[in-house]
A and B are shown apart, each in its own frame.
Chain A
Amino acid sequence: MAGEGTLSPTTPDGVLAAVQAAVADRAPLIVRGRGTKDGLGHAVASNRVLDLSGLTGVTLYEPEELVLSALAGTPMAEIEALLDANGQELAFEPPMRHLIWGLEDAGTIGGAVMVNAAGPRRVKAGAARDHVLGMKAVSGRGEAFKAGGRVVKNVTGYDLSKGLAGSFGTLAVATEITVKVLPKAETTATLVLHGLSDRDAVAALAEAMGAPVEAAGAAHLPAGVATALDLTEAATVVRLEGVEPSVAARFERLATILRPRGRITRLEAAESAALWRALRDGLLFSQDRLLPLWRVSVAPTAGPSVAEAAQAAAVAYDWAGGLVWLAMDPAEPDAGAARIRAAVKAAGGGHATLMRGSDALRAAVPVFEPEMPSVAALTGRLRHQFDPLGVLNPGRMGAGR
């Protein structure tokens, strides 16, 4: 077949040339960084890979300006180490090991932004899209363009770099990304409430999020998954971060509020960090990787009803109940897709993404939430404007996008 092979540009110009060649040959590209998200999305029918793992390097880092720019293929591990040496971090807390797929690699900055990664701190600090300040990219028209800038406050034109976050490389290939970085908290502690039912746990988390304690994480691990963290019963956890005296005061305040709901214990900094790292990286669902895994986003109080309707093999809640992880019985042909999506709709809306599933399952079920017709049409028009020939990851997000 014409155009087979792997292109591995090491410069933005090389990416431009590769996309222009794809346009000229009408040969679609599989856009790929370090391959850590190969298991996410639909298969792309092509033999030509645009491998960005060689497009690396931090191009700007000014800690006192809270800004970092890096070429899209720069490993997240490298960025994390650099930030860590300066007491900073990416506050959206992207996974640093993709344990749901059994991968130890954290992937690239381009990958983290293009899937709009978000960890447990999402409830306080936002997702990747909230931290992207600017981007250089090549659209499916084979044209290099820039969007945004390097400053936080910027309303000059459409916020295109935020709009490209989460587009899975189907609108443009990012070549360089500029993100906001933030200081790491001095210390952290986690309040653990023991033995609650899912519904009681989500009610407790709502109370915690509504209290003036600035919770930077709010999750519930039912008994079935808590064992992965050597816990013997269900654990409802709230993370507090900041300077030492503040964390201590807020812990006491939160404990006073939640004490009527159950037994409370406290995880100190090291244990707390380990727990949230495990949640961030998907450790709870890393054991049996044959189980299809859904990631569902709904209003927090709707979490338990979606989980009940799903009839899942295992459940965990993050984002105060608004993020529901559902591991399903692999024998079910659609991995519960119809049931789960109906429950999401009944709960007031949201989205269910199939994070893990066999090739056959991902071919049979829409991986991403189907959109209402007017939104799907808009999505299709946007896709057509940026990639009229469909050369960038065609079909990765499903038909028409």
Chain B
Amino acid sequence: MTQLAMPPLDTAVLARRDEIVGALRRIVPDGVIDSEVGMRPYESDGLTAYRQPPMVVVLPETVDQVAAVLSWCHGEGVKVVPRGAGTSLSGGALPLGDGVLMSMMRFNRVKRIDFENRVAVVEPGVTNLGITRAVEHRGFYYAPDPSSQIACSIGGNVAENSGGVHCLKYGLTTNNVLGVEMVLITGEIVCLGGAHLDSGGYDLLALVVGSEGLLGVVTEVTVRILRAPETARAVLVAFDSSEAAGACVADIIAAGIIPGGMEMMDKPAIHAAEDFVHAGYPREAEALLIVELDGPAVEVDHLLERVEAIARSRGAFECRVSNSDAERMAFWAGRKAAFPAVGRISPDYYCMDGTIPRKELPTVLRRMTELSGKYGLRVANVFHAGDGNLHPLILYDANVPGELERAEDFGSDILRLCVEVGGVLTGEHGVGVEKRDLMPTMFDETDLAHQIRVKCAFDEKHLLNPGKVFPELHRCAELGRMHVSGGRVPFPDIPRF
């Protein structure tokens, strides 16, 4: 594990641990875990390089319990880290040694489905796929589909503004959530949005979605459900250069076509996937595109013809159109298994998540190859080509001294490169602890101060999930006096909380 600066442990709080556990037990009698063994599953989330046992775990079951726990912690100055299913890839749910870890996984009911108004009201612990499961008997679904959808919770999706392969056409979580009920750190319950559209005042919901558990604990979510498209077909397109594949993507969009999904893989990723699931990918391809069209059959067929023509004009040497759902799923099998496939060819891998303007793809891939040489580590790329979201997988071996650190430095260089070409540090995995210290490469001190001002309006004492997202915490009253210059945190070696 690499060193990560976190807020210094509050020894006064740690000294009161028994009292704190007792107070939580009075509020949630059957939902407090304080044994070392019992707390072990909560030590990390999907970013397993970082581990930290919490001070205590609480699993509330009712909104009143959530409010009472938060209100008590607020009054006593105790930090709280909210947690959903624990699938975050950026350490958003990493516990604090002097903090209460609040798991929301007992909030697991689908409360109301309203097909006429096309909304579902669910508790935050319901899984992303669980929503679709609850409405699919009537032909409906919930559109955002992060690859962890079988396990990740909708509460976590709200915290991270999760995406998925279909968000080019159907939007991210923020475009598909209509309302939340949430509890502030003070214990106040606020309701934002609902079955209606938009806000009559400030769009606080827009700030809450993607806030990584720093603004409140969500206790209910209202999502928009959609009628599932009648059909979907995919075409697998092989190119002998990533430039040609990138140009094909640009041409498809320039032709006015917004596919349901449009994914790209580079040669290392193609080989890893093919060796793993034998999806039938052409091994000689330098770049592979999967383009999926959905809608009425007549539309899908019509657009597939156009996509094929565009691909041929860009020099595709193979275009394979799916003729059945089984074949379509086979196309996707390799892409969806890309991460475990890479896991087979390397002891460890580190998954990055930058977004770039699509046209910069050839430049970024070329520079990434140079970096790969510099760090002596291999990299495989999968890419949500439609929206420019890049997932480089850096291959390393944690048992070789120094390789993890090298992988992390390589990753940081890739993200800096994304920002340099006009992109961003994270497209869908969140900042968490992982990209926290890179925030100044994208935002200057005033930019960050305005984001922290939102935090100050919701949680002035910085008790909810501190140490995540922002590289420095400042008392809200002192915000005018932040000093970060030239995109670097000054004196990077000193503790900063």
Chain A interface residues toward B at CB < 8 A: 62-67, 87, 116, 118, 122-123, 126-127, 129-130, 139, 141, 143-147, 149-160, 162-163, 165-167, 171-172, 182-184, 186, 203, 206, 209-214, 242-243, 245-246, 248-250, 253, 297-301, 319, 322-323, 348-353, 368-369, 371-372, 374-375, 377-379, 381-382, 384-386, 397, 401
The answer to whether A149 and B447 touch (CB under 8 A), given A297-B197, A378-B190, is no
Which of B139, B250, B450, B456 contacts A64, CB < 8 Å? B250
Residues in chain A near residue B253, CB distance under 8 A: 64, 66, 183
Q: In the bound complex, do residue B228 and residue A212 qualify as a contact, i.e. CB atoms below 8 Å apart? A: yes
Q: In the bound complex, do residue B172 and residue A297 qualify as a contact, i.e. CB atoms below 8 Å apart? A: no
Residues in chain B near residue A155, CB distance under 8 A: 160-161, 210, 426-431
Residues in chain A near residue B229, CB distance under 8 A: 212
Main secondary structure of the interface of A (DSSP, over half): mixed
Nearest-CB residue, chain A, relative to B194: A349
A329 to B453, CA, bound (A): 43
Chain B, residues 182-205, CB within 8 Å of chain A (1/0): the string is 001000111110111111111110
* The 5 residue pairs across chains A and B that have the minimum distance between CB atoms: A351-B200, A369-B200, A246-B299, A183-B256, A162-B206
Residues in chain B near residue A245, CB distance under 8 A: 298-299, 302
Q: In the bound complex, do residue A62 and residue B427 qualify as a contact, i.e. CB atoms below 8 Å apart? A: no
Could you pull out 15 A-B pairs where Cβ atoms are within 8 angstroms? A153-B427, A154-B355, A154-B427, A158-B207, A166-B198, A210-B115, A322-B197, A323-B197, A348-B195, A351-B196, A351-B201, A378-B458, A382-B457, A386-B450, A401-B202
Nearest-CB residue, chain B, relative to A210: B227
Which of A66, A172, A212, A300 contacts B139, CB < 8 Å? A212
CB-CB contacts below 8 Å: B300-318 with A: 302-303
Chain B, residues 401-440, CB within 8 Å of chain A (1/0): the string is 0000000000000000000001111111111000100010
A129 to B171, CA, bound (A): 12
Residues in chain A near residue B464, CB distance under 8 A: none
Which of A153, A301, A379, A386 contacts B172, CB < 8 Å? A153
CB of A351 to closest CB in B, whole Å: 3
Q: In the bound complex, do residue A165 and residue B450 qualify as a contact, i.e. CB atoms below 8 Å apart? A: no
Which of B163, B192, B296, B480 contacts A375, CB < 8 Å? B192
Residues in chain B near residue A249, CB distance under 8 A: 296-299
B358 at the interface (CB under 8 A from A): yes
Of the listed residues A152, A157, A374, A401, the one surrounded by the most CB atoms of chain B closer than 10 A to its CB is A157
Q: In the bound complex, do residue A369 and residue B446 qualify as a contact, i.e. CB atoms below 8 Å apart? A: no
Nearest-CB residue, chain A, relative to B455: A158
A149 to B256, CA, bound (A): 23
Q: In the bound complex, do residue A143 and residue B446 qualify as a contact, i.e. CB atoms below 8 Å apart? A: yes
Which of B207, B251, B256, B442 contacts A184, CB < 8 Å? B256
Beyond A153-B163, A350-B194, 16 extra complex contacts between A and B, CB < 8 Å: A62-B359, A147-B447, A151-B388, A152-B388, A155-B428, A158-B451, A160-B451, A163-B204, A167-B202, A183-B258, A203-B116, A213-B296, A249-B299, A297-B196, A351-B198, A381-B456
Number of A-B pairs whose CB atoms are under 8 Å? 273
B105 at the interface (CB under 8 A from A): no
A359 to B114, CA, bound (A): 40
Nearest-CB residue, chain A, relative to B116: A206
The answer to whether A212 and B302 touch (CB under 8 A), given A159-B210, A353-B200, A385-B456, is no
Residues in chain A near residue B167, CB distance under 8 A: 152-153
Q: In the bound complex, do residue B201 and residue A401 qualify as a contact, i.e. CB atoms below 8 Å apart? A: yes
Residues in chain B near residue A377, CB distance under 8 A: 188
A167 to B116, CA, bound (A): 31
The answer to whether A156 and B209 touch (CB under 8 A), given A143-B446, A368-B200, A386-B453, is no
Residues in chain B near residue A300, CB distance under 8 A: 116-117
A139 to B119, CA, bound (A): 36
The answer to whether A375 and B198 touch (CB under 8 A), given A126-B175, A153-B387, is no
Residues in chain A near residue B443, CB distance under 8 A: 146, 156-157
A147 to B444, CA, bound (A): 10
B118 at the interface (CB under 8 A from A): yes
Residues in chain A near residue B93, CB distance under 8 A: none
B242 at the interface (CB under 8 A from A): no
Nearest-CB residue, chain A, relative to B386: A152
Q: In the bound complex, do residue B296 and residue A166 qualify as a contact, i.e. CB atoms below 8 Å apart? A: no
A161 to B257, CA, bound (A): 27
Residues in chain B near residue A139, CB distance under 8 A: 450, 453
A203 to B423, CA, bound (A): 44
Nearest-CB residue, chain B, relative to A182: B258
Nearest-CB residue, chain B, relative to A131: B175
A298 to B116, CA, bound (A): 13
Q: In the bound complex, do residue B453 and residue A246 qualify as a contact, i.e. CB atoms below 8 Å apart? A: no
Residues in chain A near residue B175, CB distance under 8 A: 126, 130
Of the listed residues A62, A126, A211, A368, the one surrounded by the most CB atoms of chain B closer than 10 A to its CB is A126
B174 at the interface (CB under 8 A from A): yes
B343 at the interface (CB under 8 A from A): no
Which of A65, A159, A172, A319 contacts B209, CB < 8 Å? A159
Nearest-CB residue, chain B, relative to A207: B116
Q: In the bound complex, do residue A159 and residue B161 qualify as a contact, i.e. CB atoms below 8 Å apart? A: yes
Q: In the bound complex, do residue B201 and residue A145 qualify as a contact, i.e. CB atoms below 8 Å apart? A: no
Residues in chain A near residue B188, CB distance under 8 A: 374, 377
CB of A243 to closest CB in B, whole Å: 6
Q: In the bound complex, do residue B202 and residue A129 qualify as a contact, i.e. CB atoms below 8 Å apart? A: no
A137 to B314, CA, bound (A): 41
The answer to whether A378 and B227 touch (CB under 8 A), given A154-B424, A242-B299, A298-B196, is no
Q: In the bound complex, do residue B196 and residue A322 qualify as a contact, i.e. CB atoms below 8 Å apart? A: yes
Q: In the bound complex, do residue A212 and residue B230 qualify as a contact, i.e. CB atoms below 8 Å apart? A: yes
Q: In the bound complex, do residue B439 and residue A243 qualify as a contact, i.e. CB atoms below 8 Å apart? A: no
A63 to B358, CA, bound (A): 12
A183 to B161, CA, bound (A): 25
A226 to B472, CA, bound (A): 59
Of the listed residues B196, B227, B230, B447, the one surrounded by the most CB atoms of chain A closer than 10 A to its CB is B196
CB of B288 to closest CB in A, whole Å: 21
CB of A93 to closest CB in B, whole Å: 13
Q: In the bound complex, do residue A129 and residue B203 qualify as a contact, i.e. CB atoms below 8 Å apart? A: yes
Of the listed residues B140, B422, B454, the one surrounded by the most CB atoms of chain A closer than 10 A to its CB is B454
